[in-house]
Amino acid sequence: MTLRHLLEVDDLTADELAMVLDLAEVDPPARPLEGRGVGLVFEKPSARTRNATEMAVVQLGGHPVSMRGEEVGLDGRESAEDLARILSGYHAVIGARVFAHATVERMTDTASVPVVNLLSDTAHPTQALADLLTLRQHLGPLAGRQLAWVGDANNVFRSLSLGAALAGMGVRIASPEGYGPGEEHLERVRARGGEVVATTEPLEAVAGADVVATDVWASMGQEDEAAARRADFAGAGFTVDQALMAAAGPGAVFLHCLPAHRGEEVAAEVVDGPASLVWVEAANRMHAARGLLLFLLGATS
């Protein structure tokens, strides 16, 4: 079996993405991890990703071992390359949440088992899988649907926009000046088959959209910029509130990877309101992780 990693969602083809989502819904799942481990390294905090991935491993018969980056001394006590080589001797899969995307790339240089990016500064592919699973369950086939992202063109946006394109969705993003996606990313989305529009006007992005999504204004690692970002995003009117949701298409749903900051990127009336799928989305992190693990371990259906 060819060794596969998932550092970004477009490491999957469109067919493979659909297969991962199908595998996420297989109940009861096979137990290919019986007697095997999955090593999970976290350089940053996590509630959903750690719990969802650990429990997905348990459901597949395996044993998760979660480690804080400082506990194993990632790139201090030991290089990421050496750690990945060592963990490959114990585990069937390695997951890593890292600051620099290059760290998880370096782990693939020496790992002899699949490596999964559990969030880096540029990507959050396992979140995108859960988001697409949630949308597919709620909306049915995703081809032709419109995703509107309102906010920072961050790791979550990058992965979700690539995944949405692979699923046949159109993508629109509104960000304040200076916080939008680069042309390189837009080209990458287009290369995956997605029509993508970038604007600075939230109303333009959400018009007629089936899905409105956002995320925090300052991601982990950007704490020093938080005040400036809050001023830039709030000043430009980037809170997803009821008025903005009303400008989206009929029946539009709201997604947020969480944790959410009510009153900043999203109003409480939206994240806690009837259009919000965030709790299902969070629960789906586990199902999507299970589908991904099954895929990486060689399951095809």
**285 tagged catalytic:** yes
Least distance between ligand CP and beta carbon 257 (Å): 4
Q: Is 127 in the site for ligand CP (CB under 6 A)?
A: yes
Q: How far apart are CA 190 and CA 193, in angstroms?
A: 5
- Of residues 142, 148, 36, the one with CA closest to residue 92: 36
- Identify which of residues 172 and 256 has a Cβ nearer to ligand NVA in the complex: 256
Q: Which two tokens stand for residue 291?
A: 């589908």
Per the listing, tokens 């390189």 go with: 184
| Token duo for residue 242 | 């009821």
Question: Of these residues, 127, 131, 136, 185, which one is catalytic?
Answer: 127
Q: Which of 19, 186, 257, 289 binds ligand NVA (CB under 6 A)?
A: 257
Per CB under 6 A, 174 contacts ligand NVA: no
Q: Which of the residues 117 through 136 are near ligand NVA (CB under 6 A)?
A: 119
Span near ligand NVA by CB under 6 A; candidates 33-41, 200-208, 211-219, 267-275: 211-219
User: Max Cα separation, the chain?
Assistant: 54
215 in catalytic set:
yes
Q: Which amino acid is at 275?
A: A
Torsion sign (Cα): 19, 284, 274, 194: negative
Q: Is 265 in the site for ligand NVA (CB under 6 A)?
A: no
Site for ligand CP in 205-264 (CB under 6 A): 257-258
Work out how close the CB of 119 gets to ligand CP at its nearest, in angstroms, rounded to a whole number.
6
In contact, 53 and 24? CB cutoff 8 Å: no
Q: How far is the CB of 42 from ligand CP (least distance, A)?
A: 9
Which is closer to ligand CP, CB of 8 or CB of 170? 8
Q: Which of ligand CP, ligand NVA, none interacts with 219 (beta carbon under 5 to 8 A by kind)? A: ligand NVA
Say which of 131, 152, 210, 215 is annotated catalytic. Answer: 215
Angle at 147 between CA 97 and CA 47, to 5 degrees: 25
**Does 100 sit near ligand NVA (CB under 6 A)?**
no
**Which three-class secondary structure state does DSSP give residue 50?**
helix
Nearest residue to the partner ligand CP, using Cβ: 49
Nearer to ligand NVA, 88 or 154 (CB): 154
124 is catalytic: yes
Q: Please, what sign has the CA dihedral across residues 278, 283, 286, 292?
A: negative
- The answer to whether the peptide bond before residue 32 is cis (omega within 30 degrees of 0) is no
Whether 77 is catalytic is no
**Residue 216 in contact with ligand NVA, rule: CB under 6 A:** yes
How many angstroms separate the CA atoms of 12 and 21, rounded? 12
- Classify each residue of 214-246 as buried b or exposed e, where b means 16 or more C-beta atoms within 10 Å of its C-beta: bbbbbbeeeeeeeeebeebbeebebbbeeebbe
Per CB under 6 A, the list member of 3, 31, 34, 47 interacting with ligand CP is: 47
Bridge partners of 199, per DSSP, are 174
Q: Which residues bind ligand NVA (CB under 6 A)?
A: 119, 154-156, 215-216, 219-220, 257
Q: Which residues bind ligand CP (CB under 6 A)?
A: 46-49, 119, 127, 257-258
Catalytic residues: 97, 124, 127, 215, 257, 285
